[in-house]
Amino acid sequence: MNDAQRTELEAAAYRRLVAHLQQRTDVQNIDLMNLAGFCRNCLSKWYKAAADERGIELSLDAAREGVYGMPYDQWKAQHQKEASAEQQAAFAKGTPHA
């Protein structure tokens, strides 16, 4: 596999991950953070950081919209639920933040 093929496969896997997260609105960001140590917001920030490193103009809002599939405030209003005491306790135990 050459570098171009690897980049193509990585991009395809990223797009599939984003599509999966857009479909699974039942999975809250705090659940992702507690289980995997990253969430949709982390992914958005990594995407923006990659753009910044390459001198590509991309706002955090645009990066978030790309990951969430809609403006972030709209996603929060439609899908974000209040974190339970258990979720907050698990998060407070020291989930590494990306």
Contact (CB, 8 A) for 47 and 66: yes
CB atoms within 10 A of CB 32: 19
How many structural domains comprise the chain? 1
Mean pLDDT for the stretch of residues 5-18 = 97
| CATH classification of the domain holding 33 | 1.10.3340.10
What pTM does this model have? Answer: 0.86
**What's the pLDDT at 72?**
96
Tell me which residue range forms the domain holding 20.
Answer: 3-92
Q: Is residue 11 part of a domain?
A: yes
pLDDT at residue 94 in the model: 72
Q: Is residue 49 part of a domain?
A: yes
The pLDDT tens digits of the residues spanning 39-87 come to: 999 999 999 999 999 999 999 999 999 999 999 999 999 999 999 999 8
Span 16-26, mean pLDDT? Answer: 97
Looking at the chain, list the stretches that DSSP marks H as alpha helix, in order from N- to C-terminal side. Answer: 3-23, 29-36, 40-53, 60-68, 72-79, 85-92
Task: Provide the 10 A C-beta neighbour count for residue 54.
Answer: 8
Residue 81 falls inside a structural domain:
yes
Kindly state whether residue 37 falls inside one of the protein's structural domains. Answer: yes
